[in-house]
Amino acid sequence: MDQVAQIIAETAKVAVKETADAPPPQFTGAVEWPVEASLGKGLEGAIACESQIGYVDGTKGWLIYGGLNVFDLAEKSTYEESSYLTLNGKLPTRAELTEFEKKLKDYGAVPDEVIETLKRLPKETHPMAALRTGVSVLGCLDPNADEPTVENEMEISIKLVAQLATIAGAVARIRKGEDVVPPDLELGHSANYLYMSTGEKPDELLARIMDVALILHIDHGMNASTFTTMVVNSSLSDMYSSVVAGIGSLKGPLHGGANERVLYDLNEIGTPDNTEPWYRAAREQKRLIMGFGHRVYKAYDPRARILKPLAALMAEKDPEMRKLYDIAIKLDDLVSTELGEAKGVFPNVDFYSGIVYTGLGFETAMFTPIFAVSRIAGWCARALEYLADNRIFRPRAAYVGPMSADYVPIDQR
């Protein structure tokens, strides 16, 4: 067992103890769903479909992909294996995994037209807008894009899992005026992504931490970007268009992006001693503390549980990282003690991920693309699952406008 696996195994033990019980092996999320759906703002509480891909229990702090607890996957699996699980609904055999890994490598390089387009974008382009554009160009270049069968879209999905990492790496390099780094066939998916982003081949520990971070973000229920991807795909558009839309949705600050704000806040706090005065001032001004609270989790987010000790490993790297981590720990203590039990506000996935990404060598603007590079597997898996028994999404709005207004000629209005 490697150092990271050991840390996660210990963390899982604490999580199981604190959440009283882990899901039983025969557990199926579906039987616990409410049968009656209600109309809520932002579709809150609405059930859009049945799914076997993943389950979140926000009260207990469970996150499950295809029946497997995320603690187990982070400890024992790889991004390749966990994304195969998400796309195919089962863990791969050794032969299936080898074939999947080979496909990811074979598909890894992107056409020159994509890189050329990224280079022509204005310098100040938002990295998520660049990512979205890169996928759009990929779609234009794929002669098989417009065949909406599960088989064809599965192949495109594997391509997208491979190529989103390459595009995100290229975006990271181009925005800093550095040479684009092509994928290295010797490296695994996560190590390759890190290499293409930073230009440096990561050591085993950093590659493993990158891998865990990607595993943790693969799927998270019917979130906005996943639903967006599914809605576009349900019109039998094409998987590239669907993923372009998913990236657009994730770009919004209410979805991806809170971890950037966390890092900003930690830097603003500046020193561990200033944490409590900063926190008190934020509470007094009724400001939200970034990286805390969640629409679904009212318990400690299991992803934050795993990322916290990985952030501690990053703290060993240098004094700057140590300072950020020490401030984060103090802030976590203050918020969890005062708002945890009282309001169900605990650290969410974004609180410690920013420290981990900084330690891995990413600039803050590239945090949300990391999310996309992982979530691509979940987006595609859920779009494919829905495609197998497709019905175009077509909800209704409750009309509350007038019914019989008079048409007033324009010069009389």
Q: How far apart are CA 346 and CA 355, in angstroms?
A: 17
Q: How far is the CB of 288 from ligand COA (least distance, A)?
A: 4
Q: How far apart are CA 407 and CA 327, in angstroms?
A: 62
Q: How far apart are CA 370 and CA 256, in angstroms?
A: 10
Signed CA dihedral, 358, 362, 365, 370: sign only: negative
Contact 85, 68 (CB under 8 A): yes
Query: Which distant-in-sequence residues (6+ apart) come within 8 Å of 147 by Cβ?
Result: none
| Contact status: 61 vs ligand COA (CB under 6 A) | no
Among 294, 303, 330, 375, binds ligand COA (CB under 6 A): 294
Q: Which stretch binds ligand COA (CB under 6 A): 27-35, 70-78, 115-123, 347-355?
A: 347-355
How many chain residues touch ligand COA (CB under 6 A)? 16
Verify whether residue 294 is a known catalytic residue: yes
Q: How far apart are CA 83 and CA 214, in angstroms?
A: 10
Q: How far is the CB of 261 from ligand COA (least distance, A)?
A: 7
Among 45, 295, 316, 338, binds ligand COA (CB under 6 A): 295
Contact 190, 210 (CB under 8 A): yes
Among 92, 272, 344, 361, binds ligand COA (CB under 6 A): 344
Among 29, 61, 67, 291, binds ligand COA (CB under 6 A): 291
Q: How far apart are CA 273 and CA 188, in angstroms?
A: 41
Q: How far apart are CA 328 and CA 333, in angstroms?
A: 9
Q: Which stretch binds ligand COA (CB under 6 A): 75-83, 264-272, 338-346, 400-408?
A: 338-346
| Contact status: 293 vs ligand COA (CB under 6 A) | yes
| Residue linked to tokens 């579709």 | 43
| Contact status: 332 vs ligand COA (CB under 6 A) | no
Q: Which of the following is catalytic: 219, 294, 301, 332?
A: 294
Q: How far apart are CA 246 and CA 236, in angstroms?
A: 15
Q: How far apart are CA 68 and CA 302, in angstroms?
A: 13
Task: Considering the complex, state which of residue 137 and residue 290 has its C-beta at the smaller distance from ligand COA.
Answer: 290
- In this chain, which residue has its C-beta nearest to ligand COA? 293
Q: How far is the CB of 40 from ligand COA (least distance, A)?
A: 12
Q: How far is the CB of 256 from ligand COA (least distance, A)?
A: 9
Q: How far is the CB of 258 from ligand COA (least distance, A)?
A: 4
Verify whether residue 72 is a known catalytic residue: no
| Contact status: 281 vs ligand COA (CB under 6 A) | no
Verify whether residue 189 is a known catalytic residue: no
Three-state DSSP class for residue 42: helix
β-bridge mates for residue 347, sequence order: 292
**Chain residues in the site for ligand COA (CB under 6 A):** 258, 288-295, 339, 343-345, 348-350
